[in-house]
Structure 1
Amino acid sequence: MKKFQAQPGFVVQAFRFALDPNAQERSLRSHCGAARAAYNWAVGWVEASWWQRRAEETYGVPEAGLTQWRPWSLPSLRKAFNEAKHTGPRFASWWEENSKEAYNTGLANAAAAFDNYAKSRQGKRRGRAMGMPRLKSKRKARLSCRFTTGTIRVDADGRHVTLPRLGTIRTHEPAGKLLAGVQAGTARILSATVRHERGRWLVSFQTEVERDLEHVARPEVAVGIDLGVKTLAVTADSTGEIRTVPNPRHYDRAREQLRRASRVVSRRQGPDRRTGQKPSRRWEKANAQRNKVHHRVANLRQDALHKLTTGVAAEYGTVVVEDLNVAGMLRNRRLARQIADAGFGEIRRQLTYKTRRRHATRLVVADRWYPSSKTCSGCGTVKAKLPLHIRTYECDACGLVIDRDDNAALNLAALAAAAVTGTGVAGDQGTVPAVSKPRGADRKTRTTRPRRKAEAGRAGGATLPHQRQTETRDRTQAEALTLW
């Protein structure tokens, strides 16, 4: 799919609105199901040639006589799908019920999944290793469909949207802001994506918007943000002002309500895949009530994080945050629930794009091993060890006594000037720290992962059946990536 290039003075922005469909809900689910079916077809079509070649090799077929590799580029998948939808029994009877954009959504997602897998295998993609694309389950797949062509607009009343084949759907909230931009010529709709999320149907318009950079209230002031569980965030700016943002703990407050709702669900006749048992009406009603509690918690968390990040991005010219290993922190079974409820990763993601909207605003990310909590904000002395249960920092060199989180926030704010002065000490910006970092003081988390049972089994020389199957699949896929 062709990527959009924004014009000078224009930015790409999304406008999301909740929908109130009536008879269109069946069509919405049909379009999203068609996207899932097209995705599964593309994955199976590409994999079929891989396994066919593997089977032919076991019969001694020479390389020249093996089945050719099937390409996974989007144009190739479109061409093959257009041939299969007319003749194949899977799509021939119902593919005309949905827009072509629904099938294109699934094919585009499959092409992107294969590209990510290929780049990960070749070492061209950062992050964790990507596995082979797998089929999407009808029960668990997220309902989503994207429209790039056809009639995509916000109606003149600002309370309805029109999408291809779906027709006019009423919005739960007014879309006047987007409509005013379209009518004034400062906004242009590029695509629309419908999705079922948190019990509601949502539509997201990707638009090209003309917008000037916004100015911050104090562009010369830098702020350091120290995230935590006891308090959601402690902000300290370069002027010495410290603010504490309490942790709302939305999930903990709703745990008792969730416990009661889950108890009601467990007493109803639920689904059972082993026996084919269907859920009762009472179970579906109770499960919907429990989901409402989860959705409310997610909405409250999102609202609180947006208010925090918007206020920070609108006030300070430089924002300093830590490069936290959130995925590793979630492995701690004692703190995983509190960390997930706080939303550390979401805070950094929102600050990343919100600081780009401001004029002369930058986001500084501290190194993951920077000892912000162990460093004295007054003289720069670094402690070798500082356990989590010690909440007050006491400096042995200068005698400074300060709250642990306040000290970390001050050190993070000092990093904004470190690029100019070469230091990262909050108390004295022009001198080198008095004591160098002792051994182990610059690391907060473990650098290695605990050994898994599978790794222990391989070390002992034992190979399990599922391991042999995985190794065979990896070799087959590696050959495909090499030749394709």
Structure 2
Amino acid sequence: MIQAYRYALEPTAAQEQALRSHCGAQRFAYNWGLSFVRANLETRAAEASFGPTDDQLTPAVEWSAYGLRRAWNQAKAEVAPWWAENSKEAYGSGLANVATALKNWSDSRDGKRAGRRVGFPRFKSRRAVWSCRFTTGSLGLVDADRRHIKLPRIGVVRTGESTRKLARHLDRGSGRIRSATVSLQGGRWFVAFSVEVVRAEPVRVQSGETVGVDLGVKSLAVLSNGRVVPNPEYLVRAQARIRRLQRRAARRRGPDSKTRTMPSNRWRKTQAKLARLHVKVANARRDGLHKLTTELTDSYRTVVVEDLNVAGLLANRRLSGRIADASWGEFRRQLDYKSRWRGATLQVADRWFPSSKRCSACGVVKAKLRLRDRTFSCDECGLVLDRDLNAARNLAALVEIETSTASCAGTEKMPAGNPRKTSSGAMGIATGRSRAPSDPGQRRGCESVAQDLALPIS
């Protein structure tokens, strides 16, 4: 599998200048490749307006990374006479990035790419993320003290922490470095190694129970066993300092593209403090999620979560800030790969499964449940329970539902209700119906299971 190892760097002044030069070279190559392709497309579009055949048009340029690199090698002496000051990897990575962006745009336009429509790539300004990727050359770790790395044309750079975990994989032969990406984030330089790691087969967790996890805003997570994980609200707690720094920056002289006014040094310092504060908040949030997901995958055999439409939920102006601060998407991503590493099972409930509206005791689904109703009250059995705890218990019961219905041989999943609100994927049986088996005895067994788990049988 491909795994990333990220370390903070402590470069010297000369090394930092070299890193900035390489990142600028990658941005320059990206913009050159984009302008090269864009000029060709505009020329062909202008010629096509006169009605010639395709053979009479200007030949189309190749969008692949190899094609753009060949064109760059022919033009670099003219467009960038200083190209020899940096490693060829800086220019190659910029051209590879623009080739990927153009391919995504082309596939999205032709309907070959799923998801939201991708627009035509834009030029990168100096305010974009400073990064550069190396794939060849003197690239790796220094085994002297495991506190240094090697980068092409930059040399040996000290790291802020030990690289022993990655060094052990390299010494055993179970890891191979594919590339290294340096980036400037929050005023600090980082390097991320993309490593091809051979991991041993995980030992399947034999002990432990099934747990349902209901994510929320008031509480970060509510488990089906009654445990409530409070929401740290890292960004909310830092809002006072963020607003203070933003007001301070507003009083400084900032950049203005219309008048070409250069920002003052005090404005730059304030922006640097603001960037460091945001990085601190992001690091604290990521650390808390890592601790929670590691504990869940180590303690429970099966973890059940909902398939939340996080991108759609962020459209809510009132809750978008809190949802982004909770980082539900990152929580799901970490659970996904950690469950495979540690031998646990991650079950994802269908997006339209009514976990909040369904009674965890009798299985009756309420017709309407408002968001402000934080307590679930069942009109049939009289159950009164916290809304999030009820949803978590319904998620945990999905594993029992799937196991019990799968034991009924000859059953088949059938959609129920709105066909656009059902899924045949993971846990789709929670919202589906079972076709009646031909054997009467078998049907009676399925009916007993359905009665116990409040599933409809037709």
Q: Which residue does 1:321 correspond to in 2?
A: 305
Answer yes or no: is 1:40 the counterpart of 2:26.
no
**TM-score in terms of structure 1 length:** 0.82
Q: Is 1:25 matched with 2:20?
A: no
Equivalent residue for 1:160? 148
Distance 2:20 2:345 in 1: 42
Cα distance in structure 1, aligned partners of 2:334 and 2:132? 24
Partner of 1:441: none
Please, what TM-score do these two structures have when normalized by structure 2? 0.86
Q: d(CA) in 2 for partners of 1:279 and 1:47?
A: 32
The count of corresponding residues between Structure 1 and Structure 2 is 416
- Relative to structure 1, the CA distance from residue 435 to residue 164 in structure 2 (aligned partners, 3 Å threshold; closer, same or farther) is closer
Q: Is the contact made by 1:215 and 1:314 (CA closer than 8 Å) also made in structure 2?
A: no
Aligned partner of 1:458 in structure 2 is none
Counterpart for residue 390 of structure 2: 407
SS state at 2:238 partner: helix
Residues 1:14 and 2:33 are matched in the alignment: no
**1:143 lines up with 2:130 in the alignment:** yes
Letter in 2 for 1:79: R
Residues 112-170 of structure 1 show CA distances to partners (whole Å, capped at 9, x for unaligned) of 1122122212222221111112211222x211111111111111211110111111111
Q: Is this contact kept in 2: 1:218–1:315, CA < 8 A? A: no
CA distance in 2, matches of 1:355, 1:123: 33
1:388 maps to which residue?
Answer: 371
2:277 corresponds to which letter in structure 1? V
Cα distance in 2 for partners of 1:57, 1:189 equals 47
Which amino acid is 1:183 matched to? D
Q: Which residue pairs with 2:99 in the alignment?
A: 111
Q: Which runs of 5+ in 2 are unaligned?
A: 406-428, 432-446
What one-letter code is carried by the residue in structure 2 that aligns with 1:57?
A: A
**Contact 1:223/1:320 (CA < 8 Å) preserved in 2?**
yes
Shift in Å, 1:220: 5.5
Counterparts of 1:3-402 in structure 2, within 5 Å, are 11-22=1-12, 23-86=14-77, 88=78, 90-91=79-80, 93-139=81-127, 141-156=128-143, 157-215=145-203, 219=207, 221-236=209-224, 241-359=225-343, 361-402=344-385
The amino acid that maps onto 2:449 is: G
What is the CA-CA distance between 1:98 and the residue it aligns to? 0.8
How far apart are residue 26 of structure 1 and its match?
1.1
Instruction: Tell me: CA distance 1:429–1:416, structure 2 relative to 1, closer, same or farther (3 Å).
Output: farther
Query: Shift in Å at residue 31 of structure 1?
Result: 0.9
Q: Secondary structure at the match of 2:113?
A: coil
The answer on whether the counterparts of 1:382 and 1:435 sit within 8 Å (CA) in structure 2 is no
Tell me the distance in 2 between the aligned counterparts of 1:103 and 1:378.
62
Do the aligned partners of 2:8 and 2:160 also contact (CA within 8 Å) in 1?
yes
Change (3 A) 1:429 1:294: farther
2:342 counterpart SS class: coil
Contact kept in structure 1, 2:182 and 2:191, CA below 8 Å:
yes
1:34-76 per-position Cα deviation (integer Å, ceiling 9, x unaligned): 1111111111212222111121233444443211221201221
Q: Check conservation: 1:186, 1:209, Cα contact below 8 A.
A: yes
- Work out the CA distance in 2 between the residues paired with 1:180 and 1:54: 55
Determine if contact 1:225/1:233 at 8 Å carries over to the other structure: yes
- Structure 2 letter corresponding to 1:154: L
Q: CA deviation at 1:224?
A: 1.2
Unpaired segments ≥5 residues, structure 1: 1-10, 438-484
Aligned-pair identity (%) = 52
Query: Which residue is 1:478 aligned to?
Result: none
Alpha-carbon separation, structure 2, partners of 1:64 and 1:183: 56
Contact 2:141 / 2:149 at 8 angstroms: preserved in 1?
yes
* Aligned-partner SS, 1:188: strand
Q: Provide Cα deviations, 1:239-275, integer angstroms capped at 9, x if missing partner.
A: xx22110000111111111122222211112221111
RMSD across aligned positions (CA): 2.0
Determine the C-alpha separation between the residues in 2 that align with 1:424 and 1:58: 56
In structure 1, what residue type is equivalent to 2:103?
D
Change (3 A) 1:124 1:326: same
Instruction: Please list the CA deviations of residues 368-408 of structure 1 after superposition, one character each: whole Å capped at 9, or x if unmatched.
Output: 11110000001100001000111111111111111100000
After TM superposition, the structure 1 stretch with the greater mean CA deviation from structure 2, 68-77 or 388-397, is 68-77
Superposed CA deviations along residues 19-43 of structure 1, whole A, max 9, x for unmatched, are 0111211111111111111111111
- Secondary structure of 2:312 counterpart: helix
1:229 positional shift: 0.4
Residue 450 (structure 2) aligned to one of 431, 434, 448: 431
Asked whether the 8 Å contact 1:219–1:318 carries over to 2, the reply is: no
Q: What is the CA–CA distance in structure 1 between the aligned matches of 2:204 and 2:298, rounded to whole Å? A: 5
Q: Structure 1 residue 321: deviation in Å?
A: 1.1
